[in-house]
Each structure stands twice: as structure tokens, then as C-alpha cells.
Amino acid sequence: MASDAARRHAAQAGLAAAAVLLLAPVLTPSAAAAAAPWWRPLALRGEAVTAVSAAGQTILVRTGDGSSLRSDDFGATFTPIPGGVPVETPGSVQSGGDTWVIGSDGRVFHAAGGHALALDPGSPSLGTIGGLIAAPASVPGVVVAVAGDGTVWRRAQDGGWQRALLLLPAGFPHGVPRVTAVAAFTQPLSDTVYLATDGYAVLNSADGGDDWFRAGPGLPDSVYALATDPGRRWVLAGTSDGLWVHQLQALPAPPVYRDAALAGRWAGIVLVSVAAGALAAVLLRLAVRPRGAP
């Protein structure tokens, strides 16, 4: 014969199950509303893509064997580029009316509004094997640059430079992953800066390079190149397993409902709450009723 404690546990379990069943129609999103994958494969699966650039509907890539390929249909098909024109990683970036350049001495130079390039005060020495730089247009004056030793530097809007990120080892025997690319939207679409690594996939910073988080769900761990396409709101990633794409999206993003749908949703939540409370009272009464009572 079941004890009072056992009956109470059974009642609590029944209440939880009933609440889940009642809440499911209101709180479970439909398949149509499910979020798209953060990253999805675009082309060239099975091949390493070591460089990528995008402009309009044209995408240029360089593969691991040194071949250069071109797509004029947003990545649906690729054809070899005659003469094998290489896809270079830029050592300069334009953001709004400003130009930012990593000089041959590894320092960052700045030209505002068409003026001549001048050394940016406080610029760190990135080393002669650096050359990775990005500047999100939505936060003018913010620049992210990567030194040859993998240190990520950030220039704030007040002009001050500080170390923003130093990667930790990925574990024995891999060591510290190499930073391979950095990118941001050069049109004011997002504050986010994207950082590619050979080991941690992609990291991103939603505040212009101040705080960093891993953001590579679905991607191979080895990412060799990044490019942004403002027209399609794409971030392209060249990886050890082809070309992948991320569609720019707000994160976090609250659902958007029409007024009527929102009112109906609140009414449904109220009704579910009332029903769940009534059910809880009934189950609790059954759980504590003395044995033999009617």
C-alpha cells in the first residue's frame, strides 16, 4: 500500500506532466517558426577553402591546392579563374569614410574622410607577419587588429588601444589555435566582429571586439578565411570542409506577434495558469486525503 509520501510524489509528477501537456500548445513554436541553423554549408564540401571574398553576387575563393575559383550566382556554382588570380587577405579596410591600414612595420595607419594616411596614435606593433584588420561601420572609430603572435587588439572610439583577446590552448597536443581571419560589416548593419581560428572555429564579439564568445555551431573546427557580404547580410567562412555561410540575425531576438495574436497568446497563458492551479489543488487534495476517507 502506498505511503503518504509516495502519494504526494505521484501527485507532483502528475501535476508536472499535466502542466507540460497544457502549456505545450501555447509555448511550443511551430516548425515554420524554428530558427535557421547558425551556419550552413554553401559549396565545395570536401575541399579546404583558404581565402574568400564577396562583392555583389560574385564570390571568389582559393582552395587548399592553390586553385582560384569564381561564382557569379551567390555560390551555387564555381568555375576556375583563368590564370589563377589569387584571392588575397586585405591588410586594409574601409569603414564609412575612414580607411585603416596595417603598414609594413606592423603599425596601424588611419585616413579620415579622404585625408592622407597617418600613424594612429597608440597603435600597437602587430609584427610584420600580422595583417588582419576589421572595422565595423556601425561603431565608427572601433578597430580590431590581430598581431602576428595571435594577440587580438581593439581600438575604442576614444582612440585608445588595448589587448582584447588572447586565446588559450585547445588542449594537448594542439596548443594555442592560430587566428586566421577577422571580419566585420563595413556598412552599418551590425556591431559584431568575427574571428576565425584553426581550432576554435569562429568567435564573435557583439560589442565591437570587447567581449568574445565561440559562435561556430555546425562549423568545422578549422576556419581559414572570413568575408562579409552586406547586400545579402552574409558572413562567409572558408573552412577545412568547404564554404559555409551565416545569415546575419539579431541575437537574442524576441518573437514578433501581431496585436491580435499577442492578445490571444496572453489569454491562452491566463487560461492555462487557471487550469494548472485548479488541477494542482485537486491533486494536492487527493495526495493528503486520509486513507479510507470518501
Q: CA-to-CA distance for 259 and 242, rounded, in angstroms?
A: 44
Q: Which of 163, 143, 148, 144 is nearest to 105 (CA)?
A: 148
Write the pLDDT tens digit of every residue in 177-224: 999 999 999 999 999 999 999 999 999 999 999 999 999 999 999 999
- Average pLDDT (151-168) is 94
Q: Residue 231 to residues 67, 194, 227: CA-CA distances in angstroms?
A: 26, 17, 12
Pick from 166, 246, 253: which is nearest to 212 by CA?
166
Alpha carbons 52 and 224: distance in angstroms, whole number = 9
Instruction: State the pLDDT at residue 262.
Output: 41
Question: Distance between CA atoms of 180 and 196, rounded to whole angstroms?
Answer: 5
> Where would I find the H helices in the chain?
4-27, 259-288
pLDDT of 128 > 70? The answer is yes
Nearest to 136 by CA among 204, 183, 202: 183
> Grid coordinates 555583389 are at which residue?
56
pLDDT value, residue 134: 96
* Per-state percent for the chain, helix, strand, coil, to nearest 5: 20, 30, 50
How open is the CA angle 34-36-37, to the nearest 5 degrees? 125
Q: Which residue has the cell 576556419?
A: 223
Mean pLDDT of the chain: 80
**Lowest-confidence pick of 10-19, 100-109, 178-187:** 10-19
